[in-house]
Structure 1
């Protein structure tokens, strides 16, 4: 969104809303249109933040062409780009010390598996974890993932550089660019427990897990004590 663009006030746009639903009260419609104005402002703020995210100078060059293990053998970090110039890489919590993968990482990646075919039209997409590749592939088969490409950071060099210097079992999202043969770090999710607001779990903005975004639309919201699980008890 260009800075020179003059935008109609959100309240004026909301006043043009013609949506109505059966048996709604005038109080509901008034409150809904007020909410619509805030949603319009949120959309605009998301656009402003996205523009700021694209604006910083070049990030640091990647110090090593890290070796990773794929289902076909050893590959190098640069291989993950394929024919693309941007790489999105998610580091999942599934280190060798874990009996099972993180349920929240699994929920996110299940959503990403569905859209990976679309994303790959624009960017390269990879998932890494510290467990051996055989363990990652077994879980991929268990969950029925079809489109995610998993890699084991067996040596942990990538993880210690871009996820946790202490090699902690924690999630991370990093984005890298390749321009004129040089690979640089572009962006990482840097919100953490230290930046969380009172009463909230640490979360990014916007949230990259669509499950939470859908729940934010509901009257129950995210809730204070609900978290994804790997398996659920059948309700009927």
Structure 2
């Protein structure tokens, strides 16, 4: 017997909506309620995907206790967990060949800076890049960040194993678990540029940067050729 709760059709839930704003037309309200039903369906789909992700079988055991250099000196992957059972590592694009860090990666990291204390109530969080730690710290201070923890993957072993086998300067989002002393890979973002739909800018699902979620609520949207910058005149 199924234990899944039966769901009220999204259109029925949308019909309960009592919102109405000054001078709106009947055409607008009908279209908005139809959109509301789709938003409810989207919420449900997000929940289904999250549940499916949580039910993934055990991932591969991590083959090495990878070494990094943090602001306080050398650390290992197991050190990054602290007292948490799960660890998120965001690998950002700031390799030695770059003059400055990637604007898109920087935008996402900026959205995390103020949330670090909240995130770390549940899981451990680390930002990793291939440049020497001195460069990472300088760039962090230029942004006024003091809560994000940055680490250098100097030898590139971690990056080649979990981000790019070719050691390419590309982003990666990876989640690890530690259970009974064993560290395993849990989940990584795997949607690549070759998986974009026609006319669509490559993106993950969901977009991790709330910048895009916010812009998607506006008539201008995210645009077809606009991207965040490190500085604006």
TM-score range, shorter chain: over 0.9
Counterpart-to-counterpart distance in 1, 2:146 and 2:210: 18
Q: Does 1:67 align with 2:38?
A: no
Q: What is the correspondence of 1:168-183 to structure 2 with a 5 Å cutoff?
A: 168-183=168-183
Q: What is the correspondence of 1:11-22 to structure 2 with a 5 Å cutoff?
A: 11-22=11-22
- 1:163 corresponds in structure 2 to 163
Q: Which runs of 5+ in 1 are unaligned?
A: none
Give TM-score, length-normalised by structure 1.
0.97
Q: What is the correspondence of 1:135-154 to structure 2 with a 5 Å cutoff?
A: 135-154=135-154
Q: Does 1:95 align with 2:81?
A: no
* Structure 1 residue ranges, 4+ long, deviating more than 6 angstroms after superposition: none
- 1:45 corresponds in structure 2 to 45
Counterpart-to-counterpart distance in 1, 2:7 and 2:66: 46
Q: 1:202 deviation in Å?
A: 1.2
Counterpart-to-counterpart distance in 2, 1:180 and 1:162: 22
Give the secondary structure class of the aligned counterpart of 2:115: helix
- 2:78 corresponds in structure 1 to 78
Counterpart-to-counterpart distance in 1, 2:125 and 2:176: 11
Give the secondary structure class of the aligned counterpart of 1:69: strand
**Over residues 155-177 of structure 1, what are the superposed CA-to-partner deviations in whole Å (9 max), with x where a residue is unaligned?**
10000000001100000000000
Contact 2:14 2:33 in 1 (8 A): yes
Give TM-score, length-normalised by structure 2.
0.98
Aligned length: 232
Counterpart-to-counterpart distance in 2, 1:3 and 1:222: 40
Counterpart-to-counterpart distance in 1, 2:3 and 2:90: 32
Q: Does 1:36 align with 2:14?
A: no
- 2:186 corresponds in structure 1 to 186
Q: 1:3 deviation in Å?
A: 6.1
Q: 1:52 deviation in Å?
A: 0.5
- 1:134 corresponds in structure 2 to 134
- 1:200 corresponds in structure 2 to 200
Counterpart-to-counterpart distance in 2, 1:20 and 1:203: 34
Counterpart-to-counterpart distance in 2, 1:146 and 1:37: 41
**Over residues 45-90 of structure 1, what are the superposed CA-to-partner deviations in whole Å (9 max), with x where a residue is unaligned?**
0000001111111000000001100111100110000000000100
Counterpart-to-counterpart distance in 2, 1:34 and 1:172: 36
- 1:213 corresponds in structure 2 to 213
Counterpart-to-counterpart distance in 2, 1:117 and 1:197: 36
Q: Which runs of 5+ in 2 are unaligned?
A: none
